[in-house]
Structure 1
Amino acid sequence: MTDGKVKARLKWACRRGMLELDVLFIPFVNEAYDDLSEQDKLTFERLLTCQDPELFAWFMGHEACEDTELNAMVQFILGRVKV
């Protein structure tokens, strides 16, 4: 799959049912995804397969993600937002 098609698919997957998640994911794909390592890109894509209530809880700090790779990606995305 070409890079353009991958980004288009990711942008579509970033459109969630919750505005709080949309405002995190869409800018992240636009501004940071291309600079990720291949492993981190796969981790981000895996993160997008999680359910919205789980994602919301992780990003809002209500729960910690038990998967260390996913948790690291959550923290990386949050760190970009807080800068």
Structure 2
Amino acid sequence: MSDAADARLGRLRWRARRGTRELDRLLGAWLDRRYAGADEALRADFDALLGEADPDLWDWLTGHLDPAPRYVAIVDEIRALDRV
């Protein structure tokens, strides 16, 4: 991986640390398992998802609320990893 890619991944990993163990685990799992193989559009959606408020993230990832349309694919992937 290039220095720029390493730096991007490091920034994403920092932003994925939300302060709650549950969100940290869900978001970190996607980074660890799927980020490297994801296409650029999905990576951009994950980056944008990290800009959302924690209560919204929690509700979307736990299925309490439907995610915003932009995030359906990434939220579905994160949920699927949690079932593995």
Asked if Structure 1 and Structure 2 have the same fold, meaning a TM-score greater than 0.5 normalized by the shorter chain, the answer is yes
Structure 1, gaps ≥5 residues long: none
Superposition CA RMSD, Å? 1.3
Amino acid at match of 2:81: R
Provide the TM-score with structure 2 as the length reference.
Answer: 0.89
| Alignment match, 2:78 | 77
- Give the Cα–Cα distance (whole angstroms) in 2 for the partners of residues 73 and 26 of structure 1: 13
Which AA in structure 1 matches 2:13?
K
- Residues 1:42 and 2:52 are matched in the alignment: no
Q: Where do 5+ consecutive residues of structure 2 fail to align? A: none
Equivalent pair of 2:29/2:81 in contact (CA under 8 Å): no
Matches within 5 A, 1:1-83: 2-65=4-67, 67-83=68-84
**Amino acid paired to 2:41:** Q
**Aligned pair count?**
82
Instruction: Show structure 1 runs of 4+ deviating over 2 A.
Output: none
